Chain A
Amino acid sequence: MKKDNKHTSTDGFKVPENYFENLGKKLMDQLETKKEKNDLLESTTASGFKTPDDYFKNFKKQLLNKLQVEKEEHTITKNKIESGFKTPQGYFDSFEEKLSKKIESQKSESKVISIFSKRNILYVSGIAAMIAVIISLSINKETSFNFEDIEIADIHTYFDEGNIELSNEEIANLLGDGISYTETLENEVISDQDLIDYISEEDLEDEIMFIE
């Protein structure tokens, strides 16, 4: 430490005039500038986003409030409350014995009955006779079926396999007078491609002439 707390150059270095006198003020100015910059960063960012006024001032308070509410809400689940139910004294000690007695009493109540007693044989033979009658009746019924018993799908298959051939007149008779052929055709959606394929495959000259 030098005399009067002052360092003087002894090896040729020099400082600008009043450098040390002004150093404190210069540092304070620099710190102030930095602080202003930081304040600016708190409210705006380079991205252009902004926060509501006093957002960060209130944030901590709001957060603590929210935590307090949640803490209160979870009082029941955190600080567990017992159910308050109790059992008679020694209940569990005597439970097994009580249960065993009940099981034993139920066992003795269910007597073993032989299925080969005379009375049971009569019952069983009666039931067997009834079953035999029901089966025989149902078999007889199956042999006399009518048209309603035939599945539509079976009829389709019958026609598809060429087991029956109907002339145009017969089909027309079956369809009757009440059917509009135009409407029937209009309901069918036939693609253009299907029509072209049909025309190219079939010799429709006569039909075309007829329609014209």
Chain B
Amino acid sequence: MNITKEEEERLLTSLQSDTDINSAFSELVSLYQQRLYWHIRNMVKNHDDTDDILQNVFIKVYKNIKKFKGDSKLYSWLYRIATNESITFLNQKAKKYNITNEELSMQLVQNLEADAYYEGDQMQLKLQMAIAALPQKQQQVFNMKYFQELKYKEMSEILETSEGALKASYHLASKKIEDFLKQH
């Protein structure tokens, strides 16, 4: 994350004050909108859904920022909210269509071909299919490491999982993806 500890503390103080909140919130949005967008987009695949979730994430942050105690880093808190919102969205969608989460993952990727905001070639689409075939947790780990290039330390803070477990998870996910690509 390209923000120092001191800068984060200053931003948090402003966010929790009554006078500076609006300018600080604007700074927060500028700083994290793209990262959180891609984090959500990689999970839910579709732009419009991502847009809705991203707005909800920032609204939740705005409403709850005073309750944030600073036990974890601000960015990991934001990522956690974004992750939870995305998972809740996916669960609700699967429930709505009466299908499993695995079936939903595949369906979301199949919809990409007709998506106006997807310009991947056959190889990129195949990679998305390989990711969709992974368990949800491995999908998260792979997306965060591969596409977002987050460090294991950062991922560990966001997902509240040990770095060792994340490395193992990423290795396993990569292996499964390689196997999938060889077979298809």
Contacts and interface: CB of A to CB of B under 8 A. Distances in A.
Contacts of B175: 73
B123 to A, nearest CB: 6
Interface of A is mostly: helix
Interface in B32-68: 33-34, 37-38, 41-42, 45, 47, 51, 54-55, 58-59, 62
Interface string B112-133: 1000011111011101100000
A91 B33 CA distance: 10
A48 to B, nearest CB: 39
A92 B33 contact: yes
Given A86-B117, A88-B47, A103 B59 contact: yes
Interface string A54-92: 000000000000000000011111001111111110011
Nearest to B59: A103
A84 B177 contact: no
Q: How large is the interface on B (under 10, 10 to 19, 20 to 34, 35 or more residues)?
A: 35 or more
Interface residues of A, number: 23
A80 B146 contact: yes
A74 B47 CA distance: 30
B29 interface: yes
Interface of B: 26, 29-30, 33-34, 37-38, 41-42, 45, 47, 51, 54-55, 58-59, 62, 112, 117-121, 123-125, 127-128, 146-147, 174-175, 177-178, 181
